[in-house]
Amino acid sequence: MQTAEIHRRWLDFFAARAHTVVPSASLVSDDPSLLFTVAGMVPFVPYLTGLVPAPFPRATSVQKCIRTNDIEEVGKTPRHGTFFQMCGNFSFGDYFKEQAITYAWELLTTSEADGGLGFEPKDLWVTVYEDDDEAREIWRRVAGLPDDRIQGLGKDTNYWSTGQPGPAGPCSEIFFDRGPAYGIDGGPATDDDRYVEIWNLVFMQYLRGEGTGKADFEILGDLPRKNIDTGMGLERVAFLKQGVENMYEIDQVRPVLDRAAALAGKTYGAIHEDDVRLRVIADHVRSALMLMSDGVTPSNEGRGYILRRLLRRTVRSMRLLGVETATFPELFTASRDAMMAAYPEVASDFTRISRLAYAEEEAFLRTLTSGTGILDTAVANTQRAGKSELAGDTAFLLHDTYGFPIDLTLEMAEEAGLSVDRKAFDSLMASQRARAKADAKAKKTALADLSVYSTFRSLGETVFTGYTELETESSVLGLIVDGESVRTARAGQVAEVILGATALYAESGGQDADAGLIVGPGYELEVLDVQKPVKGLISHTVQVRSGEVGVGSPATSVVDREYRRGARQAHSGTHIIHAALRQVLGPNAHQSGSYNKAGYLRLDFSWNQGLSAETRSEIEEISNNAIRDNLEVVTREMPLAQAKSLGAMALFGEKYGETVRVVDIGGPWSRELCAGTHVTSSAEIGMINLVSESSVGSTNRRVESLVGIEAFRDLAAERAIVSQLSGSLKTPREQLPEKIADLVASLKTAEKRIAAFEARAVLDKVPGLLDSAAHHGGVRLVAQETGTLNSADDLRLLVTTVRERLGSDPAVVALAAEVGAKPVVIVATNQAARDSGAKAGALARIAAGVLGGGGGGKDDLAQGGGASVEAIPAALAAVTQAIAG
């Protein structure tokens, strides 16, 4: 049975039993605490917890998920994959244990001919929470299972909670017995790979209190509404139904594995290590394909870093299989063909996806080439020093700076007969993770704990009136101070205000939040920020300027008109630049992110090379022509399917409901799905001034622009600078470039002449220094102060010149000078002096110690410095004493 067919049967089964079929949410999670959708229930959490009223009593979905916490296990076990699909059925206070168990057993054991999955009852085991006698009895009655095939397990395995106070409840899991060829008898309690968990039913019925870990917490009582959350692993069922050994061999994954094996000239099943690498490749290519189809692009942070890691692990695995050339064009095409039946978007968007993937592979192959050169040098230096262990900081540098995988470093070092100081490497990695974790924690907003909003959200959605109004009368539904719901907020306090309706725009879709006020009887609030902490709810962060505001008070939201005008100009300007980019560069230049506020916008787009000055000018000209032509801006609401049929562009990473807002500028010239605020005609934008274009990764570029009056002010400032230059140089404006070029050329010529004079002046000191040479301890020594010099390079030139003139007999030159108000000493030795034991590095350290600083270097040339110019004579005396000794 094909994976797509299992997918279809699941949805058909529950749809026929009054469940609302909910399409898979994006892999990019709405939850601020998650990078990705990691479980099938994640999109339903607000309904399961009661934070948001459920729009349906029961639902079903097949949800795309990504988990990378067990990435090192991928390929080694039959069931660890970074991308997987979770089939779920959910009840929000509707049915409970008996119906959930009945549905699960019915779907699993109904024959394939009758629309079920066709599992034999004799092959199925279940586990229940050890104290859940109710579930045990239902399984006996509904499934007719004997007691020995219903195993009771503890809280650590069969009890669900979020890990925090809130909903909790026992679980019941269903396992398939693969038979004695796969392990020992005894059921799931043996924790053996013979028994594969295929379905988990969570009976969310209790309220848990504080505690730690999976089992150390108390149950406070029953939930007012009991919910059902179940999940069946689609890949696990698929590999069992298809009669293959693991999830990497199912129809949606195996084609990539086979293609990788063919490219590497390997036979799958012949060598265990090769098999693991082939499974890693098959898994990671599919995961990367699905992530990019949901708008994730490779980068060095967050989701983009996870994607980049998957892609690089794939390249590395192919390299370990002996393939050092690009393979993504074949691997990604194979994955597209395997996944498009279930997810057509991977085919329709493959041009964009493949361009990102191929560019990332090419960049990493170059990285491997440069990293290999650095590693080879480090290995040679380690061997030359007679050491057997490569320094941990070298391995960390390769990993952190060059993206060179540690396991590749380990392998290549081993080939050279070296180990790697893994302890030092791991310590550096741990420090980096700690810094990253602290940074991420610092960046979390006060909106991260969402439970405080549940009461307000239960009152209904906040009505946004800002498309048509700049002032809206409403009332205060709630106040939050320091994460706690309060009744009042007084002058000087910062609080969050929840209103029934608001004209103030909440930050979303790349548009910054509105500025403005909230006013009411006896109080005035300055709006600092506007956000959507949960779907359908708008929260205003305010500073209470005067008076006291209380829950229930009348409130009028007032938008700052000038700020809104600038924000509308910037957001419409973003759409115009996007359209201009695509007109100039083609449809692959697709927006991948944006930010706009009054007077400013930035737009990130998929492209892998810098834009020439001519291309930038063309984009800017097309944009301003669109403004000059006063194109009509029309906004419409319509079903998502209709909007897409009209060619409206959906931007990656954005979430869209069934009804969407379409913004047209000049009809189809620019047609995008967008919930932001916009001008009514393009002429209102005023002006667009592209001020920069830069890289934000190997596959993304960024343009920044000033808009409206800010664009004019910037150009006016440039005009003033040009006018000032023209006046100072007494040159017409149009001749300024040539005039400045001539001045720069003249300046460089003068600088070269000055440098030559200074070098000659330095070298004029050589005869006198040679005359000062004296014998100490069998060595000719020049130890002199040379006064003030422009740079340490001048001093180095002087030292090396004197050393050359002293001939082949043992000679040491130690010269000191004042450079930039600081003492600098440089010591040089010739071969004969080094043979007699004189080392420049050691002598420089002696001098630097007297100068109050540090120094060192090689045996032939070294440098030191310090803080006290007055100590130079003493420092040179110390060098003389060391030589004499």
Q: Which residues are annotated as a binding site for Zn(2+)?
A: 571, 575, 674, 678
Q: Is 34 helix (H, G, I), strand (E, B) or coil?
A: coil
Mark the binding-site residues, compressed into ranges: 571, 575, 674, 678
How far is residue 132's CA from residue 145's CA, in Å, rounded to a whole number?
A: 16
Residue 597 CB neighbour total at 10 angstroms? 20
Under a CB-based contact definition with an 8 Å cutoff, are residues 573 and 601 in contact? Answer: yes
How far is residue 36's CA from residue 64's CA, in Å, rounded to a whole number?
A: 10
Tokens read off for 846: 């002696």
How far is residue 654's CA from residue 675's CA, in Å, rounded to a whole number?
A: 10
Under a CB-based contact definition with an 8 Å cutoff, are residues 777 and 787 in contact? Answer: no
Concatenated DSSP letters for 192-220?
A: -TTEEEEEEEEEEEEEEEEEETTTEEEEE
Tokens read off for 730: 């007494």
Who's near 93: CB < 8 A, 6+ residues apart? Answer: 54, 57, 225, 226, 227
785 phi and psi angles, rounded to 5 deg: -95, 135
How far is residue 457's CA from residue 88's CA, in Å, rounded to a whole number?
A: 25
How far is residue 378's CA from residue 421's CA, in Å, rounded to a whole number?
A: 13
* 3-state DSSP of 720-774: HHHHHHHHHHCCCHHHHHHHHHHHHHHHHHHHHHHHHHHHHHHHCCHHHHHHCCE
Who's near 861: CB < 8 A, 6+ residues apart? Answer: 796, 799, 800, 826, 827, 828, 829, 840
Residue 61 CB neighbour total at 10 angstroms? 26
Look up residue 597 and give its DSSP letter.
Answer: E
183 dihedral zone (left: phi>0; alpha: psi -120 to 50; beta): left
- What is the H or E stretch that residue 663 is in? strand 659-665
Q: CA-CA-CA-CA torsion for 476, 478, 479, 483, nearest 10 degrees?
A: -160
How far is residue 51's CA from residue 174's CA, in Å, rounded to a whole number?
A: 30
Under a CB-based contact definition with an 8 Å cutoff, are residues 281 and 264 in contact? Answer: no
Upper half-sphere CA count for residue 444 (Cβ side, 13 Å):
15
Give CA separation, 514 vs 25, 525, 597, 717, in Å.
29, 14, 9, 28
Residue 746 CB neighbour total at 10 angstroms? 10
Q: Are strands 779-788 and 811-819 parallel, antiparallel or unpaired?
A: parallel
Under a CB-based contact definition with an 8 Å cutoff, are residues 183 and 194 in contact? Answer: yes
